[in-house]
Structures are given as C-alpha cells and as structure tokens.
Amino acid sequence: MKANLFHELKGKHIYFKTLGESDVQEIHHFASDADVSRFIGWRLMQSLDETEAYIGELIKRETAGTHLYASIVLKATDKIIGTAMMFNFDKEANHGEIGYVFHKDYWGQGYGTEAVTLMKDFAFQSLKLNKIHARVVDANIGSYRVLEKNGFDLEGRFKDYYFIEGNYYDGLFFGKLT
C-alpha cells in the first residue's frame, strides 16, 4: 500500500506525517480526553504508557498493510492536532473506510473537512478506489457534517448500533463514489 504517500499529504492548513511513538505526548492530549474519545471507537487512554502501547498497535497494523495512519499536523505551529486513518480495505470491491480524530481545541475550524478532502483525493487518485465510506455515531454532529461537506451521502442508519456510556446511539453509514 502507498503508506509513504499517505504520510506526505499536504493541505492549505494541515499536513500528514508518519504516526510514530515520538507522538505519544501530543496524541495523549486528545486520546485521554473523554469528550474526544466518546464517539471515535478508541477507548479512553488513562496513561502515557497506555497511549504508547496503543500507538504501537496502530503501527503494527500499518506495517501489516491493513491500515494507514497519520498524525495530522497544523502547519502554522507544527503541532499534532489529530489522527487520520484508512482501513477495512476490500480489494475485490475496491473500497475502504476512513476515520479521523481531532483534539477538541481544533474542532469547528475546518481542519476535519480539510483532512477528509486529503484522504478522499488520496483514495481516488493514488489508491484508485471506487468508493470510500465512514461510520459515525449519530450524536457526533460535527463528524457527519465534515463528511457531508466532502460530498458523502448518507447511505444508511443502523438503529442502536453503538452502546456508549450506558446509552444506545444510531450508527450512520456515509459513502462517496469516485
């Protein structure tokens, strides 16, 4: 897979870089925040050691060729503000899934939209995928608005798909064709 190209994506305000264990401190800032982790599918990280171990797992997945991960860096400060990922590749059907997570201090500023644009363009131009999709908790309004801004269509709603903090939430399935 073209991991090195994924790690070199550049936008107007952000760029991607290889996810590394040296990023532990910066990633821990948002991975240990309950507001951030609530809807992303990562468990809340309680310690730097736990975050480091989790990053190690992500790196193993990428090395195995099943996932792509990148730290999202704000150009103006060279600070890591989030993480981007592509996974669940289906070579026969020629599609894959995207995901993203941002430190809450950077929500609502267009960085998510820009990151999804970079991943979408990479998926269609470099990986030659026919389709990309994303699954979102229905309560995560900001996340599904990012997808809508990038031309993703709501393709399905899965009733009570997620069970988070004692509550059921619907799962929204968004897709985008080439």
Task: Give the span between the Cα atoms of 86 and 78, in whole angstroms.
Answer: 22
- Over residues 27-45, the mean pLDDT reads 88
pLDDT value for 82: 97
pLDDT of 143 > 80? The answer is yes
pLDDT at 140 over 90: yes
pLDDT of residue 43: 79
Q: In this predicted structure, what is the pLDDT of residue 42?
A: 74
Residue 58 covered by a domain: yes
Instruction: Indicate the pairing of strand 95-102 with strand 131-137.
Output: parallel
Q: Is 16 part of any domain?
A: yes
* pLDDT band at residue 40 using 50, 70 and 90 as cut-offs: confident
Residue 21 — very low, low, confident or very high, per pLDDT cuts 50/70/90? confident
Average pLDDT over residues 105-125: 97
Mean pLDDT of the chain: 94
pLDDT reported for residue 3: 63
In a domain, 129, yes or no: yes
How is residue 10 annotated by DSSP? B
CATH code assigned at 102: 3.40.630.30
Indicate whether 85 belongs to any domain: yes
Identify whether 169 is part of a domain: no
172 domain-assigned: no
32: left (phi over 0), alpha (psi -120 to 50) or beta: alpha
Token output for 49? 């050691």
As a whole-number percent, the residues of the chain with pLDDT over 70 amount to 99
Number of domains in the chain: 1
Inside any domain, residue 97? yes
* Nearest-angstrom CA–CA distance, 90 and 38: 27
pLDDT at 66: 92
> Over the stretch 74-102, which tens digit does the pLDDT of each residue have?
999 999 999 999 999 999 999 999 999 99
Q: Could you list the residue range(s) of the whole structural domain that residue 11 is in? A: 3-133
Is pLDDT at 68 greater than 90 in this prediction?
yes
Give the C-alpha separation, 143 to 55, whole Å.
22
161 part of a folded domain? no
